[in-house]
């Protein structure tokens, strides 16, 4: 099968919109591969930080993106997928809001986004791919047959992130998270290259107050309807 014939479902949206959870469940349900593109931006920020690179140095960060070895590995206990950066399991470090903010800052560099283009397209493998991010439906897989954009109110997104981070034992406050999430969304949505926005042909689903299983069913319906 040529890679263009392999189906892709893109799931874009702001942080805390439920993309991660929904993408994982939908991919499991369909038996498709999963691309967590945000984890790639987080991993590049992390690798650059470890190498002592100044994150405002777009060229050096881009070179790091080209050379860093980023791998996803299924967890042995059936838990979250592990993200291995240059041989080190960085999964826990990558979850923090600091890692998210660093990822968002470097994600504005056009050269970095260009360097990650082919890497992300390489995830398109049979029998199909669920691609989670900000520009999956607009830039990376504009030809995807199925596109969804998930949103939720900023307050609800902050509450979800709060619960996720607390469950993982991280020390956060709801008010600080709400501020950080709003700042990150503002930056992601207003950057010049590949800003956060729904593709023209995406179905937007507002997940505020909607249980996970209903959102999963709505997203699966997009694939089944075709
Ligand atoms: O989905 P996430 O929270 O792990 O993403 C972290 C940051 O990475 C996000 O704030 C913006 C950036 N990002 C991006 O620019 N494009 C993507 N496709 C995915 C993430």
CA of 44 to the centre of ligand 1 (A): 11
Residue 166's CB: how many other CB atoms inside 10 A? 12
Is residue 38 within 6 Å of ligand 1 at its C-beta?
yes
199-208: pLDDT as tens digits: 999 999 999 9
Rounded distance between C-alpha atoms, residue 38 and residue 22, angstroms: 14
Percent pLDDT > 90 in the chain is 83
State mean pLDDT over 79-101.
92
Check residue 1 and give its pLDDT: 64
Give the pLDDT band (50/70/90) at residue 106.
Answer: very high
Check residue 192 and give its pLDDT: 93
Counting every residue written for the chain, the total comes to 226
State mean pLDDT over 76-83.
83
13-52: pLDDT as tens digits: 998 898 999 999 999 999 999 999 999 999 999 999 999 9
State mean pLDDT over 183-205.
94
State mean pLDDT over 157-182.
90
Whether the full predicted model's pTM is greater than 0.85, yes or no, is: yes
Tell me which residue has its CA closest to atom 4 in ligand 1.
38
Q: Taking all residues of the chain, what is their mean pLDDT, rounded to a whole number?
A: 94
Question: Out of 3.40.630.10, 3.30.930.10, 3.40.50.150, 3.40.50.300, which CATH number does the structure's domain 3-225 have?
Answer: 3.40.50.300
Is residue 120 within 6 Å of ligand 1 at its C-beta?
no
- Which two structure tokens, joined as six digits, stand for 142? 């504009």
Check residue 179 and give its pLDDT: 93
Tell me which residue has its CA closest to atom 9 in ligand 1.
104
Strands 146-151 and 8-12: parallel
Is residue 107 within 6 Å of ligand 1 at its C-beta?
yes
Residue 79 clears pLDDT 80, i.e. is over it: no
């Amino acid at each position: 099968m040529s890679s263009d014939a392999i189906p892709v479902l893109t799931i874009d949206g702001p942080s805390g919109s439920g993309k991660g959870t929904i993408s994982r469940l939908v991919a499991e349900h369909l038996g498709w591969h999963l691309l967590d593109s945000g984890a790639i931006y987080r991993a590049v920020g992390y690798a650059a930080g470890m190498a002592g690179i100044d994150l405002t140095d777009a060229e050096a960060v881009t070179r790091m993106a080209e050379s860093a070895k980023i791998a996803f590995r299924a967890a042995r206990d059936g838990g979250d997928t592990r993200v291995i950066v240059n041989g080190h399991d960085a999964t826990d470090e990558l979850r923090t809001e600091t890692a998210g903010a660093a990822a968002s800052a470097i994600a504005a560099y056009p050269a970095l986004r260009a360097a990650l283009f082919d890497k992300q397209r390489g995830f398109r493998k049979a029998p199909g791919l669920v691609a989670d991010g900000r520009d999956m439906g607009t830039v990376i897989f504009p030809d995807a047959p199925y596109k969804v954009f998930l949103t939720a109110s900023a307050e609800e997104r902050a509450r979800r992130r709060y619960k996720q981070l607390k469950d993982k034992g991280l020390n956060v406050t709801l008010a600080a998270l709400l501020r950080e999430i709003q700042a990150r969304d503002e930056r992601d949505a207003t950057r010049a290259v590949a800003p956060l926005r729904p593709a023209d042909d995406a179905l937007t689903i507002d997940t505020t107050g909607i249980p996970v299983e209903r959102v999963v069913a709505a997203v699966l319906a997009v694939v089944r309807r075709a």
